[in-house]
Structure 1
Amino acid sequence: MPLNRTEIVLSPNNRRVVLRPFVPPGDDRILRLIARISTLSKDEVDAQLHHVLEEFHGRHQRPREFFLGQYEAMRRHLPTDTAPSENRQLLLGAYFTQEYALESAALFNPSIVWHPNQSNLAVGSRRFVLSLRAVGEGHISSVTFRLGVIDADNQLSIDEPTKFVTTPQFVPDAVYEKDLFLRKLVELELGNPFTDRVLSTLDYDFTLDQLEDSLRTGLREHWPQHHELAPIVEQVVTLAKSNYEITYLPEHELSERLIFPFGPTETNGIEDARFVQFQEEDGSSQYFATYSAYDGKMVLPQLLETQDFLRFKMHTLNGPAISDKGLALFPRKINGNYTMLSRQDGEHLYLMHSEMLHFWHTKQMIVKPTYPWEFVQMGNCGSPIETDSGWLVLTHGVGPMRKYCIGAMLLDLNDPSRVIGRLKEPLLTPNENEREGYVPNVVYSCGSVVHNGHLVLPYAMSDYATTFATIPIDELLSSMI
């Protein structure tokens, strides 16, 4: 089968840095640092601030705004309510700020979808969004983006990213739907008379601040049970903070937008986002991405949604079928249900159906490792692609020496639990140029698209860098047994 490896390689760039909070451990250290800053005279403050701004000039778009935000975050530690001068606020904020090299360790596990804006392109060309898993200091994973075009001859080009990177603004007044939130509480076994009472005081749509106010009121009203209820309150707030919204300013280029871990379930990483353009039953579309949220101890599958790659909503997924990594959402409903591929046991491929996108209760095993190159385990490499012949699913299999290869199979369009075709041999194996990296002997992808009769497959090379391959779709399908 002809497979064309492109010459495009997206490698980690340790010059791409983003401003992040820096908070020394413990209140005592914070207070001592603030005390030391307070000993500086006005002239010393002005000189030190000038030095910082000069030294980091041109590396960030709005450093002063970030410094002031860090000052606000630390203001509660100040000894009085008297506001320092603006320059002292800026300097204090700078002491609680650091640069973070988001992709210094790896830039891998790509996913690709068509861009919502397809204007101003040559005939036969399409613009795409490439998502990438960036790994930096502390092995923290985040999501970064690139913009690209594939032309009528299947030639790919990737826009050079700007030198800036920015994190989003948290949407403080994001709205929660009471029925959905209550159902998530029940799934987490947090539904009880106390939480029922708290939610009954809220409108159908409520904000995080309103929820926290209602929880505080509920604790006061049930003070004799304070010690028993406090852990429940903490878990309710954790659930709310794990379902949040973020937004970017429109002037930020796509390559500048970084989705850095924010929620309590993802403090150590947002891993392996599998983006898909989802077609609603009314003909409209939006983008979803399943991802693995990692808090340093546990991995939880979660869901991201966006319509424009400017505003994102992050959701928890619930139900007994939600576990492990590697969920992949089908690009439309099947027989009236959302449908997802999964791998709950770390070894086999499963299929799930649900009437509600956020809740998954049952699973069905559909594929077992069958060929030597996948004997250890298998999983998906992104959302299924609809073709006239069936649902094309790219898979990964692990064989001897923990070598990862990419394969493919075909599922029935109306009953995707039926496997109607499968490659006996891998579609893609790591070659000599691809086998060396952070994790050797690995090729891996989180999503692909079809263009002009060809599968466009972005893939990671040994958990380090990213490249592309194209494969004629008809020859791929005809090679399945």
Structure 2
Amino acid sequence: MVFPVDKLIFSPNDIDLQFSPLRQSIQVDTYVLGAFNPGLARLPNGNLLIMIRVAEALNRPIIGEVIHAIRWDADAGYQLDTYPLSSVNAADPRKFQLLGNPYKVMALTSLSWLLPVELTPDGTSVIQIHYDKIIAPQRTYQEYGVEDARITKIDDTYYMTTCSVSSERHSTTLYTSTDGLTYKLEGIILDHQNKDMVFFEGKIDGNFFVLTRPLGDLYFATPPGSPYYAGPTINLAQSPDGLHWKPLDEPFIRARKGTASTMKLGGGTQPILTDHGWLMLYHGVELQGLVGIYRTFWALLDAQNPSQILHLEDTVPVLEANPSLTEPIKDQLYLSDVVFTTGLVDMGDYYVVASGECDLACRITHIPKSVFALGT
């Protein structure tokens, strides 16, 4: 699809690393591997905010016969851990696998922190980069970084979920804010690997609702003749307070045979309430290459019972990766065919949609509401 506004709004070239939290304790040469997967919200002043994941990587992770990982320590700050090159699989430039372990164990050659960037009300220009509001690791369960913010405003509070990465656990953590810029860490709300926990933009019968997407290394076969594939799926959970969560028993959105989402699914934008129900954009992944092909699809859910799917569009994507957008910075690309949609704001006749493009940059798209009209 072609849209009236579809552009990269922020890239690694827009970041001044003198403000990086890593400079607090290490002075090695680093670069921005990616500035991507932005949470999106409207601020009280009417401007938009994107909360960007900044993956800061070592220029030279391998020196001689050793490879280095970046890690935050509660007492010593940011550290470089060393491993013999012969003891790892370093085929992926973003991370390496430690060999000789009974489980799959990874370390990172980059560390992610979050950068708030204020945009014009339509999201088409940058107003201010809020380096003074950077969100960086502050608890031991964040020793390998803070990733992939999703922001939802409910009543007078902004709820921001993030993925916290550590050797302790791979968890979902919650931050809250009253102004959309200054966030307080509330702590872990899901203590298992769950990359795509997203609050609905509003309560249902007094309860908070979220999309979740738990991951694991083991899945069980679907019955012969099932229309679904085994693997990661989007689930629902509810909570009385936003902190304590009960998964719903019913299955939700699953990878369906005959579609382009054959590898896995995951939540994208915060579901927002429309006249026809809850609108959500999510990603579906087609099995191909190292990470797969990521595309954005959409669904409409019943307003009172979101487990009831009124419409599911999992064949024709709303968004796909657009090589023409990344052409000016193609020398920095390390992935292709990835669009990862992470935010949605109602603008009247259209939606502002925020996405990560190829794990490299932030993309803003204006999508007319007619795209999501039933029967079209």
TM bracket (short chain): 0.7 to 0.9
Q: 8 Å contact 1:390–1:412 — kept in the other structure?
A: yes
Q: Which structure's CA Rg is the greater one?
A: 1
Find the aligned partners of 2:140 and 2:195 in 1 and give their Cα distance.
18
Choose from 116, 121, 140 the match for 1:145.
116
Q: 8 Å contact 2:297–2:318 — kept in the other structure?
A: yes
Indicate the SS of the match to 1:459: strand
Find the aligned partners of 1:268 and 1:380 in 2 and give their Cα distance.
23
Q: 8 Å contact 1:18–1:100 — kept in the other structure?
A: no
- Aligned match of 1:327: 197
- Aligned match of 1:474: 370
Deviations 1:3-45 (A, max 9, x none): 33434441103643226577xxxxxxxxxxxxxxxxxxxxxxx
Matches within 5 A, 1:100-115: 104-115=32-43
Q: Rate the CA distance shift 1:100–1:313 in 2: closer, same or farther, 3 A.
A: farther
Find the aligned partners of 1:272 and 1:333 in 2 and give their Cα distance.
23
Structure 1 residue identity aligned to 2:49: V
Structure 1 residue identity aligned to 2:246: H
Give, in angstroms, the shift of residue 262 of structure 1.
Answer: 1.2
- Aligned match of 2:52: 132
- Aligned match of 1:304: 175
Choose from 222, 229, 233 the match for 1:348.
233
Q: Rate the CA distance shift 1:99–1:315 in 2: closer, same or farther, 3 A.
A: farther
Query: What RMSD, in angstroms, separates the aligned Cα atoms of the two structures?
Result: 2.5
Q: 8 Å contact 2:113–2:145 — kept in the other structure?
A: yes
Deviations 1:89-133 (A, max 9, x none): xxxxxxx664785x6111000121101223xxxxxxxx1111110
Indicate the SS of the match to 2:300: strand
Q: 8 Å contact 1:319–1:361 — kept in the other structure?
A: no
- Aligned match of 1:405: 295
Find the aligned partners of 1:134 and 1:9 in 2 and give their Cα distance.
14
Indicate the SS of the match to 2:282: strand
- Aligned match of 2:83: none
Find the aligned partners of 2:128 and 2:21 in 1 and give their Cα distance.
24
Choose from 131, 135, 153 the match for 1:259.
135
- Aligned match of 1:316: 187
Give, in angstroms, the shift of residue 429 of structure 1.
Answer: 1.1
Structure 1 residue identity aligned to 2:303: L
Q: Rate the CA distance shift 1:421–1:414 in 2: closer, same or farther, 3 A.
A: same
- Aligned match of 1:38: none
Choose from 323, 338, 342 the match for 1:432.
323
Structure 2 residue identity aligned to 1:366: F
Q: 8 Å contact 1:100–1:136 — kept in the other structure?
A: no
State percent identity of aligned pairs. 23
Find the aligned partners of 1:301 and 1:144 in 2 and give their Cα distance.
18
Indicate the SS of the match to 1:446: strand
Indicate the SS of the match to 1:159: strand
Deviations 1:130-180 (A, max 9, x none): 1110010231111101111135xxx7222253xxxxxxxxxxxxxxxxxxx
Choose from 270, 278, 282 the match for 1:391.
278
Indicate the SS of the match to 2:150: strand
Q: Which TM-score applies when normalising by structure 2?
A: 0.72
Choose from 289, 293, 297 the match for 2:160.
289
Q: 8 Å contact 2:9–2:124 — kept in the other structure?
A: no
Q: 8 Å contact 1:19–1:98 — kept in the other structure?
A: no
- Aligned match of 2:105: none
- Aligned match of 1:464: 360
- Aligned match of 1:6: 6
Give, in angstroms, the shift of residue 323 of structure 1.
Answer: 4.3
- Aligned match of 2:72: none
- Aligned match of 1:26: none
- Aligned match of 1:249: none
Gaps of 5+ in 1: 23-65, 67-95, 119-126, 162-253, 280-284
Q: 8 Å contact 1:147–1:255 — kept in the other structure?
A: no
Find the aligned partners of 2:27 and 2:277 in 1 and give their Cα distance.
50
Matched, 1:377 2:247: no
Choose from 154, 157, 165 the match for 2:125.
157
Deviations 1:49-86 (A, max 9, x none): xxxxxxxxxxxxxxxxx8xxxxxxxxxxxxxxxxxxxx
Structure 2 residue identity aligned to 1:116: P
Give, in angstroms, the shift of residue 361 of structure 1.
Answer: 3.0
Give, in angstroms, the shift of residue 319 of structure 1.
Answer: 6.6
Structure 2 residue identity aligned to 1:129: L
Q: Considering fraction of residues, name the structure with more helix.
A: 1
Indicate the SS of the match to 1:447: strand
Q: 8 Å contact 2:133–2:182 — kept in the other structure?
A: no
- Aligned match of 2:306: 416
Q: 8 Å contact 1:17–1:100 — kept in the other structure?
A: no
Q: Rate the CA distance shift 1:413–1:434 in 2: closer, same or farther, 3 A.
A: same
Structure 1 residue identity aligned to 2:119: G
* Residue correspondences, number: 298
Choose from 245, 249, 270 the match for 2:146.
270
Q: 8 Å contact 2:213–2:233 — kept in the other structure?
A: yes
Gaps of 5+ in 2: 58-108, 216-230
Indicate the SS of the match to 1:445: strand
Q: Rate the CA distance shift 1:310–1:6 in 2: closer, same or farther, 3 A.
A: closer
